[in-house]
Amino acid sequence: MQAVTGIILLGWAWEDIRHQSLPFWRLLAGSVVLLLFGGMYHMFSFGGAVAGAIPGMYLLGMAAFGEKKKSIGEADGMVLLVLGMLYGLWASLMILLYSLLLFCLLAGALALARKIGSQDRLPFIPCMLGGYLCYVLPEFLGQCLEVTG
């Protein structure tokens, strides 16, 4: 399941980098696939899915009603909402934390290298992919070491 999630996130990140947007149909199709796979593997309960969706709903609210409406995209909130529904509240918050940290490091490095200015926009979904990998890889590597060790 984690590989399927990673592959779909990789496609979304590529689209976000190339076009600075994510078409709704592609986001919807990937979300349906992820939620169907999650249901098949009994990854989430109703209560866990609702609780996990809270950070994504918060980002969606900021995108819709925030002071600077173009600073956060709706797709960013939808991606976090789906990840939260699959993995739960704690995982959603950790993925968001790692994503924001990676985003700040990327923006700082690009600003220091004078590749971006204060008005430039950076895609956030690639940082969410990085945040997801930061959350999932330690668990995956630990399982690999248990099997071989």
- The two three-digit tokens of residue 87, written as one number: 């993995």
Mean pLDDT confidence for 102-108: 93
Other Cβ atoms closer than 10 A to 50: 14
Q: Give 64-81 pLDDT, tens digit per residue.
A: 887 665 677 889 999 999
Residue 148 or 57, more confident: 57
Q: How many CB atoms are closer than 10 A to CB 37?
A: 15
Res 3: pLDDT: 87
Checking if the pLDDT of 9 tops 60, the result is yes
Give the span between the Cα atoms of 108 and 103, in whole angstroms. Answer: 8
Question: How would you label 115-125 residue by residue, b for 16+ Cβ within 10 Å and e otherwise?
Answer: eeeeeeeebbb
What number is the average pLDDT over the span 77-100?
Answer: 94
* pTM confidence score: 0.87
8-12, 47-51, 68-72, 117-121: segment of lowest average pLDDT: 68-72
Q: Which amino acid is at 31?
A: S
Domain boundaries along the sequence of the chain: 2-148
pLDDT in tens, 128-141: 999 999 999 988 77
* Angle subtended at Cα 36 by Cα 47 and Cα 58, rounded to the nearest 5 degrees: 45
Least Cα distance to 83 among 71, 69, 94, 72 occurs for 94
Cα distance between residue 70 and residue 83, in whole Å: 22
Cα separation values, 35 from 1, 66, 71, 96, Å: 10, 28, 27, 19
Average pLDDT over residues 105-132: 90
What was the pLDDT predicted at 40? 73
HSE on the CB side for 80, CA within 13 Å? Answer: 34
Average pLDDT taken over every residue of the chain: 87
